[in-house]
């Protein structure tokens, strides 16, 4: 429990200051579905007792099976680095390293809710990939915004991402 709280604090407390951060420019490319690099801001709200919310600048690269996610403060300080491949996932926060069998398991352990990395890459590319329990809104994807809500199973989780096109 203490270890989970440390991960939540490392991800949550410093990134609460990010409300006015500007998204970094994403590399341009003719085919968004082939893009392997995304950057911008993300907000995650996990309902429950207690509710948790995270806001961070992010850089996401790779694909669902091998990739990395970096979370940063508005001033560019790295808060967390997550790397994954088919052998497992590793989260670096400050001087702490957390490992898990998969990126999904590590994200769930750190946030309290599963985040669908496989679908996330498709959603960012504007592909309405269905995910059990999740409802996505890609209506503003051309403007660099997406929203996804997980209703089932609990806890309800809302993920909002703003990125530059």
Residue from 129, 132, 88, 125 nearest 109 by CA: 88
Query: Quick check: 1 pLDDT over 60?
Result: no
Name the domain count of the chain.
1
What is the pLDDT averaged over residues 124-149?
A: 95
CATH of the domain at 35: 2.50.20.10
Query: Which residues constitute the domain of residue 157?
Result: 2-163
3-state SS, one letter per residue, for 40-69? EEEEEEECCCCCEEEEEEEEEEECCCCEEE
Tens-place pLDDT, residues 43-64: 999 998 788 888 889 999 999 8
Cα distances from 136 to residues 13, 17, 87, in angstroms, run 27, 26, 29
Q: Give the integer Cα–Cα distance in Å for 46 and 30.
A: 35
The rounded mean pLDDT for the chain is 79
**What are the two backbone dihedrals, phi and then psi, of residue 35, each rounded to the nearest 5 degrees?**
-60, 135
Q: Which of 50-54, 89-93, 100-104 has the lowest mean pLDDT?
A: 50-54
Tens-place pLDDT, residues 105-135: 888 877 777 888 889 999 999 999 999 999 9
């Amino acid at each position: 429990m203490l270890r989970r709280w440390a991960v939540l604090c490392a991800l949550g407390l410093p990134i609460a200051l990010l409300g006015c951060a500007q998204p970094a420019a994403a590399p341009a490319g003719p085919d968004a579905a082939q893009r392997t690099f995304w950057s911008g801001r993300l907000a995650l709200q996990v309902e429950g007792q207690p509710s948790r919310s995270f806001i961070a600048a992010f850089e996401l690269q790779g694909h669902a099976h091998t990739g990395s996610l970096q979370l940063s403060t508005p001033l560019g300080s790295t808060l967390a680095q997550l790397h994954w491949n088919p052998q497992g996932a590793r989260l670096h926060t400050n001087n702490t390293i957390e490992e898990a069998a998969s990126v999904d398991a590590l994200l769930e352990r750190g946030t309290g809710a599963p985040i669908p990395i496989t679908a996330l890459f498709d959603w960012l590319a504007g592909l309405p990939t269905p995910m059990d329990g999740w409802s996505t809104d890609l209506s503003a994807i051309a403007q660099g915004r997406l929203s996804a809500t997980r209703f089932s199973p609990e806890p309800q989780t809302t993920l909002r991402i703003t990125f530059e096109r």
